[in-house]
Structures are given as C-alpha cells and as structure tokens.
Amino acid sequence: MSDTHVKTLMDDLPPARIVEKLNEYIIGQDDAKKAVAIAIRNRWRRQQIDPEMRNEVTPKNIIMIGPTGVGKTEIARRLADMTGAPFLKVEASKYTEVGYHGRDVESMIRDIAKAGIAQVQAEAMQRVAASARDAAEERVLDFLLPRPDADYETDEGKQAAERYTRTREKLRAQLRAGGFADKKIEIEVNAPPPMSGIFGAVGSDEMAMEMQEMLGKMMPGKRKSRRITVPEALAMFQQEEAEKLLDDDSIQREGIERAEQGGIIFIDEIDKVIGSHRGDGPDVSREGVQRDLLPIVEGATVVTKYGPVKTDHILFIAAGAFHGRKPSDLIPELQGRFPIRVELNPLSRDDFKRILTHPKNALTKQYRLLMATEGVDLEFAPDALDAMAEFAANLNQSTQDIGARRLHTIMEKLLEDVSFNAPDLRGKHIVITGDTVRGRLEGIAGNEDLSKYIL
C-alpha cells in the first residue's frame, strides 16, 4: 500500500469516525472497536513521520477474547472494507508445525500477498475497462463482418470500403444494444496442457496448484475451436485485451507493498493452539504452531512466488473464546507480540433486539427484502422483536452460547412456513407478532433435548 494510498483512505477516518462506521453493522463491543480504530489510525500517523523513523514504528497487534458470534470477525472484516486494506481470515487450528503434514504458517503471508495483488489488479482492470471493451468490440465485429478482400485503390474498392464501414457501425450499435445475445461464433482458445494428477501425490495441494500454474505458463497448450455466444466472446475478449494493457510487474510490486504496509490478518481460534503442557500427543504440534507464528508476527521476510514479502507492518488481530484458557497460556514470546487485549462481552437480550433492527444488514431487513421478491409484504411487530431477543438470550444461556448466530436459527425456524409458501402468498401482508413467535418456538425451546438439535 503506497503512502499516497494510505493517506487518501485514512484522511477522513479519525478513530471516532471508524467507530461510528463500525456501529452501523456491529452492536456493542465498544472496547474492541476503540482498540482497532486506534490501531488503524496509527497506520496513518506512521505515514506522517520522518521516513527514517517510520520503519521503527510497528503495529500494536490485538487479541480479542470472547465467545463465538459476538462480532470479533465482523469487526476485523468491516475494518478492512472501510480502509481498503487487503484482508485475510485464517484459523490457527488449520496450521501445523513445520515437519507435520498440513498448512504451514507462512502460507498466510502468501495468501495476503495474493489478496493485495488481486486488489491492485482489480483496480487496474477498472481503469482500462473502457479501452479493453472497445478493443473487444472490434474483435467481435471482425467475426460478425469479416473485412472484404478488395483493392481499395480503385473506385469500386473505395465504395466497398464505405459500405463495409457503414454496415460495421450498424452492427456495432446492435452489439451495444444487446442485439446478438443468441448468436454464436466460432473462436480459437488456448487449451491448457493436461497436467491434473501429476503433482497430486507430492506435497500440499497449494504447492501442486502453484506448480501446475507455473508449468502451464512454460508449456502453452494447443489451440482449439469453440462455439460460444457473442456476449461470452465479448467478455472473453475484454478480459484478454485488459490483460494486454496491464503491467504485471508493476501490479505485483504495488500489491506486495499494499499487503506489507496495510494488510490485516485475522487469526481466529488462537486459543486452539494452546497445549495442555503434558508434553505428548498433538500438544507438541500446537506449541510448535505458536513458535512458527512468532517470527511471522514479530517481523520476517517470507519468500513467495511473487517475491519476498516483509511482515513487519502487517496488522495481526488474533481472536479466541479462551474457554478454560487465557492469553497468558500462550508462549511468552508470542504474548509479547499481542500487547493489546480486549474482551468482548456476551450478548444480552437488549443487544439481540438491536441486532434484529439496527445494523444496515439487520436480519429483519434481509428477510423483508427476500419475501418482497415473492410479492409478500413481511412485517415484524415490536413485541415479536422482544420475543425473539428473549428466546435467543435464554437459549444461549441454557445451551451453547453461539452469540448472534442464534438469531439465524430462530429466524429460519420462525419463518419456515412463510418462506416455503411464499410463491402462493403473493400480494399478502404478513405480520409476525409476539404470539406468532411464541406459538412457533415455545414448544421447541421448552424441550431441552429438542432445542439442542433445532435451535
């Protein structure tokens, strides 16, 4: 992420504004929002200081502690969206110590580099989209109306050229108006060499894919003919023409820089790599994952197929429920690399009620829009919101606490019949009341064994 990119994105995002934007999607958890807002603002502050000192200022990584479904991942994801930063969510439990079969922790750096490059490439593709579209149109028109073989020096040839130009412009207008949606043309495309299965038995799947991609570039496939529709050909040609206009080396350099200077890696389930200190079984591998994570979080250079990637200024946000564990159970060196620790609170009845209506992507808004596609006007009465919030809070206390995800199961069960019969309810106005909620859920929630399976 270049200095200019950081300044442009962050000039209008002081910490209070970051928290305000997070509040549009996430209820409560003010301490966590404040911590990430400061961490992000410090990135902008770092860009304002003397370049010699700038490299000495490293991110203050964060550990979020709290049960599932209370907003840990959502805070990190929304933070990346609003700042335009490359973002990667990983689960610590998916990694293994070096020497064990599985993913190594360095793969997260390869993935964040890939995300940064993809982000820069998407922006570059947008910039050249108009030129690529024009070039793609010309190629499609060449198929629809091949250029006549005539002597353009003669009067007859000149007239043929004029007729050809007029006809071509008419076809261009029809093409832009979508007039050839069903017409098929025959084009030649590259057929990739058949290499599937060559590397499947050796190394990781990730390594196999990278080897196939590399050999695919070294060994171009044969050309083969395909009959496709004009819109498909237009999209394919536009992609090809856009790629011709891009500078791959420049995109890779900027993508890596953006990942290095602005990347956010969210490491979920960090508590799952805490061993029981018995010294046997899988605990050896778990503590090994912590040791492998340490240099990555501390600041290292990881070699990727795009080039070396430095991790010194990537922001790491770790999270975990820490049931029966605490951050101090992590190895001391790793603890020191996560100096900021914030606890997220379990959701209360009032939190559930606000989650149902307040966020921009609130569940009640989503379901109203979904039913509206079937011509059904769905309404939630205030006492229905109270009842759903109460059921969610009680179920989280009496069974496993899954946070706001409990509302998804409640809403699905509550609206099961309405959703199933929606095509036959077109034009109906359906009001969900507190009695509706209780009538639908009370029997299930009251049966402890049944509620464990259904709600």
User: Lowest mean pLDDT: which of 93-97, 98-102, 177-181, 398-402?
Assistant: 98-102
pLDDT attached to residue 401: 81
Total-model pTM: 0.79
pLDDT attached to residue 155: 72
Segment of 2-6, 47-51, 278-282, 312-316 carrying the highest mean pLDDT: 312-316
Residue 105 token pair: 């922790």
Kindly state the average pLDDT of the residues 162-169. 87
* Whole-number average pLDDT of the chain: 84
User: Lowest mean pLDDT: which of 2-6, 122-126, 181-185?
Assistant: 2-6
- Residue 431 has φ and ψ, to the nearest 5°, of -110, 125
The Cβ-side half-sphere exposure at 391, using a 13 Å CA radius, reads: 33
333-354 pLDDT per residue, tens: 898 899 999 999 888 899 999 9
- H or E segment and range at residue 10: helix 3-10
pLDDT attached to residue 124: 92
Kindly state the average pLDDT of the residues 73-92. 89
The 8-class DSSP code of residue 50 comes to -
More confident site: 161 or 166: 166
Give yes or no for a contact between 430 and 377, defined as CB atoms under 8 angstroms apart. yes
pLDDT attached to residue 215: 59
210-259 pLDDT per residue, tens: 656 665 656 655 667 888 888 888 898 899 899 889 998 999 999 999 99
pLDDT attached to residue 202: 44
Residue 293 CB contacts under 8 Å (≥ 6 apart), including other chains? 92, 95, 105, 267, 273, 334
Kindly state the average pLDDT of the residues 295-318. 92
pLDDT attached to residue 9: 55
Beta-sheet pairing, 62-65 with 315-320 = parallel
CA–CA separation, 365 and 320 (whole Å): 30
More confident site: 401 or 6: 401
pLDDT attached to residue 375: 94
pLDDT attached to residue 65: 92
Token pair 């997260």 is found at 108
Neighbours of 39 (CB within 10 A): 20
Cβ-based burial of 427 (10 A; exposed 0-12, middle 13-18, buried ≥19): exposed
User: Lowest mean pLDDT: which of 5-19, 92-106, 186-200, 429-443?
Assistant: 186-200
pLDDT attached to residue 256: 94
One-letter amino acid for residue 248 of the chain: D
- Residue 84 has φ and ψ, to the nearest 5°, of 70, 25
pLDDT attached to residue 374: 94
CA–CA separation, 133 and 126 (whole Å): 11
Structure confidence at residue 455 as a pLDDT band (50, 70, 90) = low
Beta-sheet pairing, 62-65 with 340-343 = parallel
More confident site: 254 or 324: 254
Whole-number CA gyration radius for the chain: 28
Kindly state the average pLDDT of the residues 364-369. 94
Residue 278 has pLDDT above 70, yes or no: no
CA–CA separation, 416 and 432 (whole Å): 12
pLDDT attached to residue 13: 82
Give yes or no for a contact between 290 and 273, defined as CB atoms under 8 angstroms apart. yes
Q: List the beta bridge partners of residue 190.
A: 223
Residue 137 has pLDDT above 60, yes or no: yes
Query: What is the Cα 195 distance to its own chain's centre?
Result: 29
User: Lowest mean pLDDT: which of 64-78, 189-203, 306-320?
Assistant: 189-203
pLDDT attached to residue 201: 45
Kindly state the average pLDDT of the residues 39-63. 87
Segment of 119-128, 210-219, 391-400 carrying the highest mean pLDDT: 119-128
